[in-house]
Amino acid sequence: MSDYCGTETADRAPEAGGPPFAECVLCREPTEYPESYKGITLCPVCEWQEAQRTACSG
Ligand SMILES: [Zn+2]
């Protein structure tokens, strides 16, 4: 008799706080991008503001 369907597997790898995040180029807040991200890193707030600006231009 197998009971594999009644037990929860607890073999999840513990997260160590995530990778070191890059700073926002505008306000230097931590972003959701890893430090090794190539390109402009924006925090969610600045990213949203940039989206608003580009949406209004033109
Ligand atoms: Zn920012």
Query: Percent of the chain scored above 90 by pLDDT?
Result: 55
Average pLDDT of every residue of the chain: 81
How far apart are the CA of 15 and the centre of ligand 1, in A?
A: 25
Query: What pLDDT score was predicted for residue 31?
Result: 95
Ligand 1 centroid, distance to 48 Cα (angstroms)? 9
Contact between 43 and 27 (Cβ < 8 Å): yes
Question: In this structure, what is the dihedral angle of CA atoms 48, 51, 57, 58, given to the nearest 10 degrees?
Answer: -160
Q: Backbone phi, then psi, for 47, in 5-degree steps?
A: -65, -40
Burial tier of 41 (Cβ tally within 10 Å: 0-12, 13-18, 19+): buried
Name which of 36, 41, 39, 44 is nearest 18 in CA terms: 36
